[in-house]
Amino acid sequence: MKKIALFSFLISLVILAPTVLAQPELPDPGITPDSPFYRLDTFFDRFRSSEVVAGKRVAEIRAMAEENKTEAMERAVEGYERAMERRERDGNRSEGAAEEVARQASNHLAVLAEVRERIPEEAHEGIDRAINNSARGRGRAIEALNRTNPERAHSVAQNTLEEVRANTPEEAQEGLEKALDAVSERGPPTDIQPGPPEEENDVGEVPEEDEEGQDQAPDTPIDENGDDNVTDGEEAGNGAPDEIPNGQ
């Protein structure tokens, strides 16, 4: 009996292991928005990396949602919006940074989509803002990567999309897809298709029509009516007659 029980336990571990490993990891929220020391805690955000701050804010959102503390959750959502703005800027620094931002934002999407299904409907507006910020951060990071490495951007876009869908509970899939679609319509694409880089003209090269246009100028001035019968005197004197009438 003991062998059978042990065998059953090992089989359950094998079956459940992929599910456990697939869950996105978040840091400990530490001091949460319902604490009187929260303002002091956020003061030290300037000394933390954007990655740490963004992760902490999502952990706070989930913790406050689980305790049904809607107002405190809203404070964490506001902090997450600011943190993702920093993450988007960091994603423009290098290809590696852009990929890290895309993957972190994808993990946040899965967590937030799950949280949304477990909170009261009146709190959905706040969590939807956080979900939109995650989707936007992922899209802009992939867009930044696409500017320098389209093939890698396409791979990251596909992989992160598969990961976030796999990590999102079935009941939250619809809300997730709506967030991704909304970001695609309003801003940068969430998925990038690979393609050859655009050809650029050599520096200093001027199209032929511009060169021809620069050298072509009318031989004779044209008056307002389109006639070219301006006299030599008018041209030399800026419109004044050659001769001054007698008596003046």
Q: How far apart are CA 247 and CA 120, in angstroms?
A: 97
Task: Identify the sign of the CA torsion 128, 132, 137, 138.
Answer: positive
Q: How far apart are CA 139 and CA 188, in angstroms?
A: 6
pLDDT at residue 77 in the model: 94
Binned at pLDDT 50, 70 and 90, residue 237 comes out as very low
Q: What single-letter DSSP state applies at residue 171? A: G
Closest C-alpha to 108, from 66, 171, 54: 54
Q: How far apart are CA 168 and CA 172, in angstroms?
A: 6
pLDDT at residue 185 in the model: 54
Say whether pLDDT at 141 is over 90: yes
The larger pLDDT score, comparing residue 19 to residue 115, is at: 115
pTM here?
0.64
Cα–Cα distances (Å) from 206 to 3, 193, 203, 210, in that order, read 82, 31, 9, 6
Binned at pLDDT 50, 70 and 90, residue 231 comes out as very low
Evaluate whether 126 touches 62 at the Cβ level (below 8 Å).
no
pLDDT at residue 24 in the model: 62
Binned at pLDDT 50, 70 and 90, residue 177 comes out as confident
Binned at pLDDT 50, 70 and 90, residue 121 comes out as confident
Residue range 145-164, pLDDT digits in tens: 999 999 999 999 999 888 88
Residue range 67-83, pLDDT digits in tens: 989 899 999 999 999 99
Say whether pLDDT at 58 is over 50: yes
54-58, 123-127, 182-186: least confident range: 182-186
Q: How far apart are CA 79 and CA 86, in angstroms?
A: 11
What is the Rg, in whole angstroms, of the alpha carbon atoms belonging to the chain?
32
Residue range 191-207, pLDDT digits in tens: 555 555 444 444 444 44
Binned at pLDDT 50, 70 and 90, residue 183 comes out as low
Binned at pLDDT 50, 70 and 90, residue 93 comes out as very high
pLDDT at residue 120 in the model: 85
Chain centroid to Cα 42, Å, comes to 23
Mean pLDDT over all residues of the chain? 74
pLDDT at residue 7 in the model: 45
Task: Please calculate the CA angle 90-91-92 and round it to the nearest 5 degrees.
Answer: 90
